[in-house]
Protein backbone atom coordinates (compact mmCIF):
# COMPACT_ATOMS: atom_id res chain seq x y z
CA UNK A 1 0.00 0.00 0.00
CA UNK A 2 1.54 3.30 -1.03
CA UNK A 3 1.38 6.41 1.09
CA UNK A 4 -0.45 9.46 -0.25
CA UNK A 5 1.74 12.12 -1.78
CA UNK A 6 2.30 15.22 0.33
CA UNK A 7 0.56 18.33 -0.98
CA UNK A 8 2.53 20.32 -3.51
CA UNK A 9 4.02 23.67 -2.58
CA UNK A 10 1.58 25.45 -4.89
CA UNK A 11 -1.33 23.71 -3.14
CA UNK A 12 -0.09 24.75 0.31
CA UNK A 13 0.60 28.34 -0.76
CA UNK A 14 -2.88 28.67 -2.20
CA UNK A 15 -4.38 28.26 1.28
CA UNK A 16 -2.08 30.70 3.05
CA UNK A 17 -2.33 34.43 3.62
CA UNK A 18 0.43 37.00 3.56
CA UNK A 19 0.96 39.14 6.63
CA UNK A 20 -0.77 42.00 4.83
CA UNK A 21 -3.82 39.84 4.06
CA UNK A 22 -3.93 38.53 7.63
CA UNK A 23 -3.79 42.06 9.04
CA UNK A 24 -6.64 43.12 6.75
CA UNK A 25 -8.72 40.12 7.83
CA UNK A 26 -8.27 41.05 11.50
CA UNK A 27 -8.58 44.78 10.75
CA UNK A 28 -5.15 45.35 12.25
CA UNK A 29 -1.99 47.00 11.01
CA UNK A 30 0.71 44.81 9.50
CA UNK A 31 3.20 46.07 12.07
CA UNK A 32 0.91 44.90 14.88
CA UNK A 33 0.95 41.36 13.47
CA UNK A 34 4.73 41.43 13.05
CA UNK A 35 5.30 42.77 16.57
CA UNK A 36 3.11 40.11 18.18
CA UNK A 37 4.80 37.40 16.11
CA UNK A 38 8.22 38.66 17.20
CA UNK A 39 7.16 38.63 20.86
CA UNK A 40 5.25 35.34 21.02
CA UNK A 41 5.84 33.39 17.78
CA UNK A 42 2.12 33.58 17.00
CA UNK A 43 -0.62 36.08 16.27
CA UNK A 44 -3.77 35.36 18.26
CA UNK A 45 -2.60 31.77 18.64
CA UNK A 46 -2.06 31.22 14.91
CA UNK A 47 1.47 30.06 14.05
CA UNK A 48 2.72 30.98 10.56
CA UNK A 49 4.86 29.05 8.12
CA UNK A 50 8.21 30.81 7.79
CA UNK A 51 9.69 30.66 4.30
CA UNK A 52 13.46 30.47 3.70
CA UNK A 53 13.42 34.11 2.52
CA UNK A 54 12.02 35.19 5.92
CA UNK A 55 8.47 35.88 4.78
CA UNK A 56 5.58 34.53 6.79
CA UNK A 57 2.56 32.68 5.42
CA UNK A 58 -0.45 32.33 7.67
CA UNK A 59 -2.75 29.29 7.26
CA UNK A 60 -6.18 30.51 6.23
CA UNK A 61 -8.01 27.51 7.74
CA UNK A 62 -6.58 28.14 11.21
CA UNK A 63 -7.69 31.75 11.04
CA UNK A 64 -11.23 30.75 10.09
CA UNK A 65 -11.35 28.31 13.01
CA UNK A 66 -10.08 30.99 15.40
CA UNK A 67 -12.75 33.43 14.26
CA UNK A 68 -15.47 30.78 14.48
CA UNK A 69 -14.37 29.76 17.99
CA UNK A 70 -14.45 33.36 19.18
CA UNK A 71 -17.91 33.92 17.71
CA UNK A 72 -19.25 30.79 19.46
CA UNK A 73 -17.70 31.74 22.80
CA UNK A 74 -19.31 35.19 22.79
CA UNK A 75 -22.83 33.84 22.34
**pLDDT in 10s for each residue of the chain, 75 residues:** 566 555 555 555 567 899 999 999 889 999 999 999 999 999 988 999 998 999 999 998 888 877 787 777 766
Angle at the Cα of 2 (from 14 to 6), degrees rounded to 5?
15
CATH no. for residue 46?
Answer: 3.90.105
Cβ contact 62:15 at 8 Å: no
Query: Is 33 within the bounds of a domain?
Result: yes
Count of the separate structural domains present in the chain: 1
Query: Is 2 within the bounds of a domain?
Result: no
pTM of the complete model: 0.71
Question: Cα dist. 5→2, 8, 9, 59 in Å?
Answer: 9, 8, 12, 20
> 29: domain range?
12-73
Cβ contact 48:56 at 8 Å: yes
Query: Is 32 within the bounds of a domain?
Result: yes
Amino acid sequence: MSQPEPPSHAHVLRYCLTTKELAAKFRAQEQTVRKRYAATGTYCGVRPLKLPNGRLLWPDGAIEQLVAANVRSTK
